[in-house]
Every structure is written in C-alpha cells, then in structure tokens.
Amino acid sequence: MTQPLLETPLCRWHEAHGGRMVGFAGWRMPVQYASIVEEHLATRRAAGMFDVSHMGRLAVDGPAAIEWLEGLLTRRVAGIEPGRLRYTLITGELPDGGGTVILDDAIVSRDADAADGSPRLGLVVNASNRPRVVEWLSSRLPAAGVGLVDRTFETAMIAVQGPRAVEIVCGLCPRDDAARIAALGVYRATVVRVGGYEAAVSRSGYTGEDGLEIVVAGGVARSVWEAIHAAGAPLGLLACGLGARDTLRLEAGMPLYGHELREESDPFAIGLGLGVTLDGRSFPGSTRFAELRAHPRGRVRVGLEFGSKRSARENATVWQGDREIGVVTSGSLAPTLGRAVAMAMLDRAAAAENTLVDVLIRDGRQPARVVPLPFYRRS
C-alpha cells in the first residue's frame, strides 16, 4: 500500500499561491510557482525563499554526544565551537556483512551547551535518507550518555538566499538580533527572533549565493514565512520551488545525494575530501577511504559546458569517438549563463580541462567541453 505523502507546515500556503505540488522524497513539495527560470534569476539578482522543511533535523545531546559522533561521522566533531557548522558524511554498514557505505551527507552543528554543561549538537540530513539515518544512529546509541531526537516534524526550515537575503531577514529582527545575523560568518549560527518568533539562523545554503537558513517551531512557520515574503517581495524576492533549487545548486557545482554522491562513492573523486578527516580517526569506512585517498582510481567528477541550450539529463553517456568514457549525473539549462551545463563522472584520462567530448542526448550526440567547477561563482 502506498504511503501518503508527508506535508510541511507550509504546504497550504504553497497550494494557495499557485505552487505546482509534486511528490519528492516522500513529501508533498512545490516544484515551482510560475517559472523555474524566473525563480532562479530572482535568487541570483535579489532573493529567493525556499521551504526546505522536508530536510531531516536531528538533535543529539548528552555528556558523551561528541565522542559518540566522532566514531560515526567522517568529519571531526571534537573541537567544534558552539555556533559553528561543518559539512560531513555519514557512513554505515550494510546488513549481513555487506560492507560500509555512505548513508548520506549532512551538516553537523554545535549548539549552545545545556545548563549542566553537556554538549548539544544538530544534524541536518537529506529527506530521502532521514529514515535510514535515524535507524542507523539509533542502532548505535550507547546505553547512557547520548540522546537522539528527530525534530523534523515539530519544526520547519526556511532558506532565504540571494544578495538581498540577509538584508530582508534582518529587517524583521530586533536591532541587536539583526546585528548578530549580519555579523555571522559562513557556516556560523545564532539564535534570534525573526518576525517576532524565536529562530535558529545559520549563514548557509545550497544555491551558491549568500543567504540564511532559518529553523522555527512548526506552529509559527507560516507566520515567519509570510513575514519574510511580505518584506522581501518589494525588493524582488520570490517564493521558489524545488526546480530552481536544483538549477541553482547545479550552477554552483554542489553535489546531490543520489546523483553525484552515492552509497559507493569515493568522496575524494567527487570533490568532497573536505568532508573527510582521516588522520588519527576511526569511523565506518575509514580504512576504505584511507586507501582511496592514497591510491586514486576510477572516475572523477567534472563540469561539462555545452554550446547550446539543449541539456543532458542524468545517466546520459559521455563519449570520445567510439569509447564511452563517463556518465552525466546532473544536467540542465543554466539560466544565469544562458547555456546548458552538466556534472558528470569521467574517466581520469579524459577529465582534463578543455577536453572535448560528446554527450548522447536522446538519439544524437551533443558536443561539450570539460570545464572547472563551479559553473557560477558569486562576485
């Protein structure tokens, strides 16, 4: 029997404002309102706001929380100061001795310590992987000293991205709170009041733009969303769906789990070595990752740029002459650039910048050129 789609606290707003709703990772989400291109360009030029409440939000606390996460995440957790975030991978073991795999990529944050001095941390994980990540982490909990709570269904998460994003959100905060937000560095977080409600705000996002991600209680999410929308609309802000979020992250060269990043991936080959700290550490898969770092092999992630707007889709094959040398993992028209781009996994011998290749698009070959990532970088 098919499970009903989950809904975020903002679902009714999306429906009332023309959101085209689709099923995504078990959730009912807006893919667009009017035009993906318009929403994309609004984010690049002014601001876009995104309902990302489908992302998993997990809370970890207790006196042994840091030591516990140290043995489960690929990035060092010890030493994270309160108010800081880090990108990491979550690795786990397949049942019946099937080996170690990448379960997800995630953001780990260190929140303010509890009153008794115990650390409090958070994990933001992908919607599609949240159930198995929760199951895996729960299976590894010690008898005492660590608490794990899934906060996804009691909170909401709003991303406001673009060159005017911080200005818009700060305009909804008390003066001191606005100053704290404006002073945040990238991958830093603070707790303030936005639109009159308590919110955890981080300087982070998934679009290649400056911006903020805001976590609030589910019951006040619509009020906060509407306040941001009303304040930002005169400045060019648009509500945006999953379609624009995907084209924005593609232009910014950001990997997506299930596309560039998979269970069996070599993180160094796809440019995610920053999410792996190996020296002096042990976590599921650390031995395999150490071998991959020492002896690179297999395909690597590259950017492909086309001379036209005709875009390649995931799983399109890449060729040199009569030899298949790779596969597209994500592809689309890049609205900011006005031409099609793609990310692909290519044989290392063909991955040098400016290498000319062909991509099989439907029934014909389309010329493309290997280019550095990202395709777009904000000035």
Alpha helices in the chain (DSSP H): 11-16, 36-45, 65-70, 130-139, 165-170, 175-182, 221-232, 242-251, 286-294
Which residue's entry shows tokens 């019946």? 96
Pair 239, 96 in one domain: no
Which CATH number do you get for residue 16?
A: 3.30.1360.120
Pair 127, 180 in one domain: no
Helix, strand counts (H, E) of the chain:
9, 20
Q: Are 339 and 376 within 8 A, CB to CB?
A: no
Domain endpoint, select from 224, 251, 278 = 251
Establish if 26 belongs to a structural domain: yes
Q: What is the CA radius of gyration of the chain?
A: 21
| Tokens of residue 196, six digits | 């009159």
| Tokens of residue 15, six digits | 């429906």
- Three-state DSSP string of 283-296: CCCHHHHHHHHHCC
Establish if 322 belongs to a structural domain: yes
| Tokens of residue 32, six digits | 């667009």
How many domains would you assign to the chain?
3
15-to-10, 11, 34, 283 alpha-carbon distances in Å: 9, 6, 12, 43
Pair 132, 193 in one domain: no
Confidence tier at 98 by pLDDT (50, 70, 90): confident
Confidence tier at 348 by pLDDT (50, 70, 90): very high
Which CATH number do you get for residue 366?
A: 2.40.30.110
Establish if 81 belongs to a structural domain: yes
Establish if 359 belongs to a structural domain: yes
Pair 205, 141 in one domain: no
What gap in Å lies between CA 361 and CA 316, rounded to an integer?
A: 6
Establish if 145 belongs to a structural domain: yes
Which CATH number do you get for residue 80?
A: 3.30.70.1400
Pair 45, 91 in one domain: no
* pLDDT greater than 90 at residue 95: no
Note the pLDDT tens digit of each residue in 106-119: 999 999 999 999 99
Domain endpoint, select from 151, 183, 201 = 151
Domain endpoint, select from 151, 169, 195 = 151
What gap in Å lies between CA 368 and CA 340, rounded to an integer?
A: 9
Pair 166, 123 in one domain: no
3-to-6, 27, 150, 214 alpha-carbon distances in Å: 9, 10, 20, 29
Pair 158, 147 in one domain: no
Note the pLDDT tens digit of each residue in 140-173: 999 999 999 999 999 999 999 999 999 999 999 9
Pair 84, 125 in one domain: yes
Pair 325, 312 in one domain: yes
Establish if 349 belongs to a structural domain: yes
Pair 159, 216 in one domain: yes
The model carries a pTM of 0.97
Pair 88, 237 in one domain: no
Establish if 30 belongs to a structural domain: yes
3-state secondary structure of 20: strand
Pair 193, 239 in one domain: yes
Instruction: Pick the range with the lowest mean pLDDT from 66-75, 88-97, 271-280.
Output: 88-97
Establish if 290 belongs to a structural domain: no
| Tokens of residue 341, six digits | 């781009």
Note the pLDDT tens digit of each residue in 259-314: 999 999 999 999 999 999 999 999 999 999 999 999 999 999 999 999 999 999 99
Per the structure, the complete domain to which residue 171 belongs is given by 6-53+154-251
